Chain A
Amino acid sequence: MEQLGIEPKLLIAQLVNFAIIVFVLQKLLYKPILDMINKRKKEIAEGVSLTEKMRVEEEKFKEKQEKAMAKAREDAMGIIEEAKKQAKEVEKELVADAHTQAAAIITRAKEEAAEVHKTAQAALRKEAVELATMMARRLLTSIMSAKEQHAYIAKRVKDLESWANRV
């Protein structure tokens, strides 16, 4: 034992030394460092779980958004269809109205034309009679007696009347 240098007092001293170092390291190093590592791990785990939760919520939100978008698109398409339908109806109404108005204008124009025609006809007849009377008077004055003139004029007036009625 002595040759190997084993000395009970030194051995006990080394045992005490190691016991002290275990105690001190546990208090000063292991516990605080492991607590800190565990705390950080916990925070990281919480962060990861929060991220996962947020990701799930984001997916849900996206799904909702997509649904809302689809619904909005569908509604918009419905509105557009409805507007088109209404526009067609309005167009039809407008066309019908225009047709009605055009027909009324045409009718009125025809009536006005007929009126003008009638007036012109009367004026022409009157003018023709006056002209014929004047010509006949000049002619008859030169070649016929008063009696013959009256008979001839009367006959011509009759002819003119029948002609005017034909025009």
Chain B
Amino acid sequence: MLRISLPAETLWTLWGLPISNALLTTWIVMAVLIVCSIVATRKLSMKPGTFQTLAEIVVGGLYDFFGSISGSFIGQFFPLVGSLFLYILLANWIGLLPGVGTVGFWHGEEFIPLFRGAMSDLNTTIALAVVSVLAMQYYGFKNLGHHYAKRYINFKDPILFSVGILEIISDLSKIISFAFRLFGNIFAGEVLLAVMAFLMPFIVPLPFLFMELFVGLIQALVFSMLSAAFFTIAVAHEE
């Protein structure tokens, strides 16, 4: 029978840390990214090989793309927004591979999948959202100094004070919106694919699989673009 679990399943515990199947997939994503980076930059030359060309297209393209949002601040933001994009994209696409959610073991009556899409675990998406919002504050203070604090705490007049309170609420709500948007889309996609595969295992899930590939890309783009936009707004903030 089809079983859908909202939280990621814990596989085992290591030194008190519960190792979930989503965390395991995250490590695979990390390993893939690190190996690809090493392969792409192993023999850098002015006449690039296949991997270097691919890496230059991806990194250069992302740099220019986020540069069109962040302007001159792209140098500061790129490591974070570029990583957000690549990490989320790869995690989403790896979550669609055969075996993810289907290969696992039985624990009594319960089937525990060994792998689960990293972004279909709220811990991952909340962690990324927290990073994004904290980075926004970091860039704001780094570029504007103590003036950035006036965005939240301003005693000049009651209206600005109220706006500051709203800004605090808005920034805190960004964590929730970031995390749940990404989690909701990816989790919903996985559920949809699981239901389709359960109802009609052949051919029928294919269009949904392609749609999920697209959703994975769009969600990675939305998360990283919004982060870049928020960072840019934070550094351009003036009272």
Interface of A toward B, CB cutoff 8 Å: 2-7, 9-15, 17-22, 24-26, 28-30, 32-34, 36-37, 39-40, 43
Report Cα–Cα, A39/B52, bound state, in Å: 14
Q: List the B side residues contacting A14 at CB < 8 Å.
A: 23, 26, 123-124, 126-128
Are B127 and A15 in contact (CB-based, < 8 A)? Answer: yes
Tally of B interface residues using CB under 8 Å: 43
Q: B residues within 8 A CB of A43?
A: 46
* Nearest chain B CB to A149 CB, angstrom units: 141
Task: Note all chain B residues with C-beta closer than 8 A to A30.
Answer: 59, 78-79, 82
**Interface pair A28/B20, CB less than 8 Å apart:** no
User: 19 A-B pairs, CB-CB below 8 angstroms?
Assistant: A3-B7, A7-B20, A9-B17, A9-B18, A10-B17, A10-B121, A14-B23, A18-B87, A18-B127, A24-B33, A26-B83, A28-B34, A28-B41, A29-B37, A29-B41, A30-B79, A34-B63, A37-B59, A37-B60
CB distance from B182 to the nearest CB of A (A): 12
Q: Are B123 and A5 in contact (CB under 8 A)?
A: yes
Cβ-defined partner of A22 (8 Å) among B17, B44, B79, B122: B79
User: For residues 1 through 45 of chain B, which have their beta carbon under 8 Å from a beta carbon of chain A?
Assistant: 6-8, 16-18, 20, 22-23, 26-27, 30, 33-34, 37-38, 40-41, 44
Residues of B near A10 (CB, < 8 A) are: 8, 17-18, 20, 22-23, 121, 123
- Is residue B80 within 8 Å, beta carbon to beta carbon, of the partner chain? yes
Q: Is B171 an interface residue (CB 8 A)?
A: no
Q: Would B130 and A15 count as touching, CB distance under 8 A? A: yes
CB distance from B124 to the nearest CB of A (A): 5
B69 at interface by CB-CB < 8 Å: no
Report the minimal beta-carbon distance from B125 to chain A, rounded to whole angstroms: 9
Question: A10-B123, A34-B78 are known contacts; what are 5 more A-B pairs with Cβ within 8 Å?
Answer: A5-B123, A14-B124, A15-B127, A25-B33, A25-B83
Cross-chain contact B16 with A9 (CB below 8 angstroms): yes
Query: Chain B interface secondary structure, helix, strand, loop or mixed?
Result: helix
Instruction: For A12, list chain B residues within 8 Å (CB).
Output: 127
**Smallest CB separation, B56 vs chain A (Å):** 6
B123 adjacent to A7 (CB under 8 Å): yes
CA gap between A24 and B34 in the complex, in Å: 7
Would A5 and B79 count as touching, CB distance under 8 A? no
Contact between A33 and B60, CB atoms less than 8 A apart: yes
